[in-house]
Structure 1
Amino acid sequence: MNIEKRTIEFIPEEERHGSVRNLFTIWFSANMQVTTLVTGALAIEFGLSIFWGLIAVIIGNLLGAIFMASHSVQGPKLGIPQMIQSRAQFGVVGAVIPLFVVILMYIGFFASSGVLGAQAISSAFSIPINWGIIFVSIIALVITLIGYDLIHKLEKYFAIIFAIVFIFVTIEAFQLKMPSHIWAPGHFSAGSFLLMVSIAATWQLTYAPYVADYSRYLPSNTPSSKTFGYTYAGTVIGTVWMMSLGVILTALIPKFLNNSSLGLAKLVGPQLAVIMYLVIVLGVFAVNVLNLYGAFMSITTTLEAFTKLKATTNVRFWLVFATAFIGAILAIWGNGNFLTNFENFILLLSYFMVPWTAINLIDYYLLRRGEYNVWDVFDVNGQYGKFNWVAIIAYLISFILEVPFVNTSMYVGPVSKALDGTDIAWIVGLAVPLVLYYFPMRKKINLSASNRGISNEQEFK
């Protein structure tokens, strides 16, 4: 199979290929893994019943995936990666601000997933977890170096394997001994419920900065409804399935989260334990390849803004290698206190990424309506400029306004305290840019169009 030659540049029409249906399998597979399961398990850690935990998981994912799949639509239309498209909102250099957060996000998820994959390898083959982390990182490195086509092909086969195995796991889960009251709603805590909704929605939103990377090779005439629909269905079905398993298994199996990989192996029995471990490792590969590929694209986008970097095969190798190395080191450092570190990490992401996703979607759907000069996102002297202070200021203020509403183990905002621990910061992060970005930016675009002698209707057509 040929190594991918393109990186952050525009994909010409003659190189477009693939089926839009592949978007279902790539996002289904990316979510059918143990990290997703552990995220769902947080509902029980927060004190929710199974009933309210499942409701929170479903609502959060249904809402968050709307934004995630809306980003996916941009891939075939523009033919460039998601974060380089963000230059049209923040400016060619200004986009480095959200890019920095995104790079940290990719590396953090790479490390956290690597720990869980290493636990499975350690349990199956009795090797130290640190060596398991190194093994997982090397395999992800190789797949990422080959690139886009191999990623899509592997995710397609993974989807079939995951569906078969986790149907069996789900059947086994429902055969566990259950107290008679287990499905009763029980006590409802608004704070814990909304916190879990926030985490589930955030799970989807954290895919937003790279979701279009995996649709950008599709033909430009691919219907937007199909791009949205296959992405949405794949990510929601995979995530709700695995998070729901996390809720149920954590509630029914004592100390399940101490080693979730071992817990899954025990559930399927000793004869199938090795298969379960292998499937867990494949799940880590499925998502960590995306994390590493996304980190490489984002780092390349960042460096290109300052150096006009050419992503040769040599450069590609060293950037991917350096990213995988850093992620592996973080995984080795953080595996002893994984659950606490991961909970803090995923909550932190929501506060930074939600305003970015709002600004990007407002710009794409409400202001420019999908019409961009792709070549200008590569030119610091083009129409998008070095910095767009409207977007940068809106982004920073939106984040600051989220702070009173946050609820994390490190800090609880005053509004969240007053609302009994309720965390609605992500809602604030989505709503504020509607005012701080949409209206000033519309005025700026109108003025620019007027100066160029273009009517408002032509500018927004």
Structure 2
Amino acid sequence: MKQDQKPAAAAVERNGVNPVPDGERHGTPRGLFAVWFSWNISILGVSYGVYVYGVGLSAWQAVAAGLLGYVLSAVLVGILAVGGPRTGLPTLTQTRLAFGFHGNKFPTFFAYLSNVGWKVTIITLASTTGARLFARLWPGAFADGRGHESVPAVMMWFVIVLVLTVTVAVFGHRLILRVEKWVAWLTAVMTVVFIGMIVPHIHWSRIGHTPNGSFGEFVGGAVLAMTLVGLGFLNYGGDFARYLPRRTGARGVVGWTAGGITLPVAVLLVLGILLAAGNPELGSAAADDPVGALTDLLPFWFFVPFSIVVVISLIAAAITGLYSSGLALLALGVPVSRAGTTVVNMVVISAGAFYLLFVSDSFLATFQAFLALIAVVMGTMGGIQLLDFVRQRRLGWPTELAMPAGQGGSAGRWTALVSLVAATVIGLGLVTSSDPNIAKVVGFLLTEDQKKGVIGTTNVGVLVAMAVGAALYALLTFVLGIDPKGPARSTEPGRDLEGVPS
């Protein structure tokens, strides 16, 4: 394929975790903005503002801490995204260069669990939002005796959301870019109108009454913001940048990626903080159920189209996540095509969402607590990969290192794996969980007072684990010079990146 030829949006993407050939590279970093913008412009961002404010900060401190955390973590995602055009690999395949072919499966498995878990939550929220809309429009057909959305309405919307998500994800990268571009414009316009209608419900005279928090609480608020948004994307930065030409400027990749992540959540962060500070009752309700609490304030003429846009934005987030989770399965070595992994994920995610919607009343809280612990592994893996970029760049970004042992790569690089395990243990000792069962195995490095304080309530342990993992890896690799080697020549039959003989 010639450099100026672009695959049709209607064609199913054929690339999996292989390096994207230079002849198929196209686009500019500007195209990354819409992908990340539509992924993050969710009404859930209002809840994040409430959470940051709840650390114990004043309104202005919460805004500053939240913005600082968002920018720092989004820039880290952008830096990792640079590996996409340099190698043509998805992020969770490029991490093989740091962890080895089989060693990479450990952190990739946890990254996959996290991605699928959040997709379960998002698809569930989209389904209930659509069903709630229909219950308001046609209560006779879609509402139960209490006026709430009926089970058949939720089931119908569950099927609609799942079909739309899977369809776009199967076609892959090019169709996703086109769809996300339109979703970004639509959701941006509707969100501006939505904010204008919510602002009158803020009690401005009460905002300045909260005293300033301590420096430790400010740091805790910034760390909490990082864990809420950017750190969760560290493992997927390169998935949408790998089709860019190899020599695409790093500054553009970082800037457009970080901007697309930060802009929508920053605006919603400020709204959430102002609601929590000026109208504590509404802020508390928005933290628990942002869609229900905030859409109830809207006039009916706007409630209908805005609810539709909320569903669309959630589907947009589910599409990109489902696409990346498929690439994660390939990185784990599942012997199917990229389109095939989408079907596998459809089964897994639909089962989880069905259980959450129709079986369990307490599953969500426990599962979200579990996902918070996974963030310790993911953050540590991201920190090691960021540091290993120095080595990968010096070696000329060799994709051979993503191959199995004897084919240019290695089965596992113990320097990275030891750093990951050691830092993860430390991180788990510094985090807490609201789930009583999970709480028994975490927080073992904290006193009871610390568990209830800033350290225990803001996920600081995630950032500590990330820093410790990177520092230990730097010591072993760059200071002691252990295993910094490049690709080795193969003397065995060729294999592809899944390890299957070719």
Tell me, yes or no, whether TM beats 0.5.
yes
Distance in 2 (alpha carbons) for counterparts of 1:449 and 1:3: 34
Does residue 280 (structure 1) correspond to residue 330 (structure 2)? The answer is no
SS of alignment partner, residue 165 of structure 2: helix
1:228 corresponds to which letter in structure 2? Answer: V
SS at match of 1:238: helix
Looking at structure 1, the residues matched to 50 and 367 of structure 2 have their Cα atoms a distance apart, in angstroms, of 12
Q: Find the counterpart in structure 2 of residue 404 from structure 1.
A: 429
Q: Which residue of 1 aligns with 2:268?
A: 242
Describe the superposition over 1:241-271 as per-residue Cα deviations: whole angstroms up to 9, x where unpaired: 2233333345522623453223332333111
Aligned partner of 1:441: which letter? Answer: T
Report if aligned partners of 1:141, 1:292 keep a CA contact under 8 Å in 2: yes
2:474 to 417, 423, 438: 438
- Give distance in 2, aligned partners of 1:182 and 1:197: 20
- Number of equivalenced pairs: 446
SS across alignment from 1:436: helix
Kindly report which structure 2 residues correspond to 1:142-161, keeping only aligned pairs within 5 A, or say none: 142-161=167-186
- Equivalent positions of 1:302-451 (< 5 A) are 302-304=332-334, 309-311=335-337, 315-316=340-341, 318-332=343-357, 336-337=361-362, 340-341=365-366, 344-365=369-390, 368-369=393-394, 371-409=396-434, 410=439, 411-415=442-446, 417=448, 419=450, 420-422=453-455, 423-442=459-478, 443-445=481-483, 448=485
Q: Are the counterparts in 1 of residues 121 and 353 from structure 2 also a CA contact under 8 Å? A: no
**Which whole-Å deviations, capped at 9, do the CAs of 1:150-208 have from their partners, x for residues lacking one?**
11111111111121111112222322240513144525266665444223212201111
1:205 aligns with 2:238: no
The Cα of 1:369 is off from its aligned counterpart by 3.9
**Partner in structure 1 of residue 140 of structure 2:** none
Q: Say which of 98, 123, 126 aligns to 1:117.
A: 126
Aligned to 1:38: 47
Among 294, 299, 303, the residue aligned to 1:269: 299
Q: Where does residue 3 of structure 2 map in the other structure?
A: none
Change (3 A) 1:22 1:334: farther
2:74 is aligned with 1:65: yes
- For 2:257 and 2:331, the matched residues in 1 are separated by 24
Code of the residue aligned with 1:68 in structure 2: it is V
- TM-superposed CA distance for 1:116, in Å, is 2.0
TM-score using structure 1 length? 0.88
**Contact 1:34 1:116 survives alignment (8 Å):** no
Please report how far the alpha carbon of residue 290 of structure 1 lies from its aligned counterpart in structure 2 after TM superposition: 1.4
Asked whether the 8 Å contact 1:405–1:416 carries over to 2, the reply is no
| 1:181 aligned counterpart, secondary structure | helix
Distance (whole Å) between structure 2 residues aligned to residue 351 and residue 75 of structure 1: 23
AA matched with 1:82: T
Structure 2 residue runs without a partner (length 5+):
1-9, 136-148, 490-502
* Cα deviation, residue 323, structure 1: 3.5
Q: Secondary structure at the match of 2:196?
A: helix
> 2:395 & 2:33 partners in 1: Cα distance?
23
Quote how far apart the aligned CAs of 1:404 are.
Answer: 3.2
Contact 2:133 2:304 in 1 (8 A): yes
Residue 169 of structure 1 corresponds to 194
Matches within 5 A, 1:17-28: 17-28=26-37
Q: Distance in 1 between matches of 2:275 and 2:395?
A: 43
Separation (CA, whole Å) in 1 of partners of 2:482 and 2:393: 12
Residues 112 and 338 in structure 1, CA contact (< 8 A), matched pair in contact too = no
CA distance in 2, matches of 1:158, 1:317: 21
CA distance in structure 1 between the aligned counterparts of 2:46 and 2:446, rounded to whole angstroms: 30
Pick from 244, 250, 259 the counterpart of residue 224 of structure 1: 250
Distance of 1:48 and 1:58 partners within structure 2: 14
Instruction: Quote the offset at 1:132 in angstroms.
Output: 3.1
Equivalent residue for 1:99, pick from 99, 108, 114: 108
Q: Is the 8 A contact 1:394 1:436 kept in 2?
A: yes
Give, as a single letter, the amino acid of the residue that structure 2 aligns with 1:54. Answer: V
Unaligned 5+ segments in structure 1 are 453-461
CA RMSD of aligned residues (A): 2.7
Per-residue CA distance 1:307-356 (angstroms, 9 max, x = gap)? xx35175x345324334324423542687447734652453233111110
Question: 1:281–1:450: structure 2 CA closer, same or farther, 3 Å change rule?
Answer: closer
Q: Quick one: which amino acid aligns to residue 104 of structure 2?
A: A
How high is the sequence identity, in percent, across the aligned residues?
22
Q: Within 1, Cα distance between the matches of 2:172 and 2:29?
A: 18
Q: Offset at 1:218?
A: 0.8
**By how many angstroms is 1:44 displaced?**
4.8
- Asked if 1:15 is matched to 2:15, the reply is no
Q: Are the aligned partners of 2:86 and 2:397 in contact in 1 as well (CA < 8 Å)?
A: no
Contact 1:57 1:197 in 2 (8 A): yes
- In structure 2, how many angstroms separate the alpha carbons of the residues matched to 1:138 and 1:247? 35
Moved more, 254-263 or 115-124: 254-263
Change (3 A) 1:351 1:150: same
Question: What letter is aligned with 1:421?
Answer: V
Equivalent position of 2:326 in the other structure = 296
Confirm or deny: 8 A CA contact 2:28 2:248 kept in the other structure.
Answer: no
63 and 185 in structure 1: CA distance in 2 versus 1, 3 angstrom threshold: farther
Cα 1:200–1:338 change in 2 (3 A) is: farther
Structure 1 residue 417: Cα displacement: 4.7
